[in-house]
A and B are shown apart, each in its own frame.
Chain A
């Protein structure tokens, strides 16, 4: 990996994008001296292109890769790097500026602003939405997050690679396993280690247990979004069952502390694994029955189609990931190419009516829930033993981990000096998808925004870190 000159950096990125590489993330080093862009080919090959800042600036790539917009804004706010050509470079993480520093100006006949948050009317994470509307119609939304920014990446730096995992995975409870595995894989790549089959199986079980309760939660959230209390209660009950199962298997309802760098200590004897399998089959049967009821509830179904559309073209432009991308017919799922995990033969699914609207995103959760339960059924057929990663190569100063979280592709980049963590960047599926929520809201009615937002059900914590 070389550090390019500013013009060389831009040339390399433009060439890679032309060869089908997709932008996966961008971050600045702690001193703001170097910017690294991560790109991924359709086959999963990862490229890191680095550039040294000249007079505190590097060239932008946002004109060719709009998906990097938040990354560049964050790098400026947090690490002081300017991006030449990214004009205006609006504030993302900094909250101390005027309204005009972070909102898009909306002019014309009668637009006005509706400010919502950071505190919301319910049990919802903190974040601010500034809607520009005419009547009830949304022209534009400025999403202002980072209210929950805890500086976890900086708090993790300086610790040993192993100890830092607890800090990194505390970014988000809903994606604790996905973030933890992405971090562990990045460390292992940097250390030159690879997961053994049993380690891959342990992590895959944990990832799918996490996805299971998340998808049940997300279906319940859409029911709540249209005020269908019976549907919400039903799926929330199933979500509770899966959290109880998590606690029974690992001692923690959110599976905290189960992922480690270089090893897994999780042990399940055959009887426990079998009992878990039986419980998951029951959850699956109950979920199918409740799902059928949702299908035949006309007043519920009427609310879902053609609302909050993110189509395939928007997916590729905005870098949308996960269920939201698949709901638009884009068959991209990191699980189909995850060498360190146990997803042999996994095929991504998309809904028949892949319109990228609220209905398709809900449908997608239903399809994926079934898949998740099938994967778990296959993996829990026998006892699980503690396992370690094995030396597989030389490693290097930088490692990259990529994991399909319940909300989509999560990228973790780790920079190290020996056993010490210098810099970690966690770019979660939620972070990738927040701009898509803003896009989905355009031209919709303001009262539909909560439903649109619920159909993505992104974490604020994951984005803010």
Chain B
């Protein structure tokens, strides 16, 4: 255990990740609305020592009740349409929606028309678009941190 922690400390030192210079946090609720699992695997690695997004106050939360941002992947399948709307409805305001990956943006290889409702923005108002198939962890981190910065700079603009 000690060796594990020592190795982690060494890795952190070598990577020389910058410390947080932001005074705000962002609670993220993730909803997979029919992805190929690529976006999920990249999101998971945001917790790896190479990105460690939690040091900026960004965390994936276990309920929409305490989420600021709904992070949606996939082309929105017919079967995930309702659960997605239910998760959004359960969020407190102000609430934001991010479409993560090309499928969520309606431009990937999606599937058969009768099984797909449409891109996230056909269902919910989208505030953040993160393109890529799938977007790499660095791109996801950049998009989410810009959002934190924007919100810090212009609190009045929040919905």
Chain A residues in contact with chain B, CB under 8 A?
95, 118-119, 121-126, 146-152, 154-155, 166-167, 170-174, 176, 217, 230-234, 236-237, 239-240, 243, 247, 253-254, 256, 286, 289-290, 292-293, 296-297, 459-462
Contacting residue for A123 out of B43, B75, B116, CB 8 A = B43
B55: shortest Cβ distance to chain A, in Å?
12
Contacting residue for A239 out of B38, B45, B108, CB 8 A = B45
B127: shortest Cβ distance to chain A, in Å?
20
Most chain A Cβ neighbours within 10 Å, of B80, B109, B110, B114: B109
Contacting residue for B36 out of A172, A240, A289, CB 8 A = A172
Contacting residue for A121 out of B7, B36, B62, B115, CB 8 A = B62
Given the known inter-chain contacts A123-B60, A148-B77, A151-B112, please indicate yes or no for A236 contacting B36, CB distance below 8 A.
no
Closest to A236 in B: B48
Most chain A Cβ neighbours within 10 Å, of B41, B80, B116, B134: B41
Judging by beta carbons under 8 Å apart, are A172 and B60 in contact? no
Q: Is B155 an interface residue (CB 8 A)?
A: no
Q: Which residues of A contact B87 (CB under 8 A)?
A: 119
**Extra contacts besides A230-B1, A239-B48 (10): CB < 8 Å:** A118-B83, A147-B34, A148-B79, A149-B77, A155-B112, A170-B108, A174-B37, A176-B36, A240-B137, A243-B45
A-B contact pairs, 9 of them (CB 8 A): A146-B79, A148-B34, A149-B115, A217-B44, A236-B45, A240-B45, A254-B38, A297-B1, A460-B32
Judging by beta carbons under 8 Å apart, are A150 and B116 in contact? yes
In the complex, what distance in Å separates the CA atom of A118 from the CA atom of B148? 28
Q: Which residues of A contact B42 (CB under 8 A)?
A: 253
Q: Is B74 an interface residue (CB 8 A)?
A: yes
Q: Which residues of A contact B109 (CB under 8 A)?
A: 155, 166-167, 170
Q: Which residues of B contact A293 (CB under 8 A)?
A: 1, 3-4
Chain B residues in contact with chain A, CB under 8 A?
1, 3-5, 7-8, 11, 30-45, 47-50, 60, 62-63, 74-75, 77, 79-80, 83, 87, 108-112, 114-116, 133-134, 136-137
Judging by beta carbons under 8 Å apart, are A125 and B111 in contact? no
In the complex, what distance in Å separates the CA atom of A118 from the CA atom of B1? 35
A238: shortest Cβ distance to chain B, in Å?
9
Judging by beta carbons under 8 Å apart, are A237 and B110 in contact? no
Given the known inter-chain contacts A119-B87, A173-B134, A230-B5, please indicate yes or no for A147 contacting B40, CB distance below 8 A.
no
Judging by beta carbons under 8 Å apart, are B37 and A119 in contact? no
Contacting residue for B110 out of A119, A150, A171, CB 8 A = A150
Closest to B134 in A: A173
Q: Which residues of A contact B34 (CB under 8 A)?
A: 126, 147-150
Judging by beta carbons under 8 Å apart, are B50 and A240 in contact? yes
Closest to B63 in A: A121
Q: Which residues of B contact A237 (CB under 8 A)?
A: 8, 11, 48-50
A212: shortest Cβ distance to chain B, in Å?
14
Q: Which residues of A contact B80 (CB under 8 A)?
A: 118, 126, 147-148
In the complex, what distance in Å separates the CA atom of A231 from the CA atom of B3? 11
In the complex, what distance in Å separates the CA atom of A123 from the CA atom of B44? 7
Q: Which residues of B contact A170 (CB under 8 A)?
A: 36, 108-109
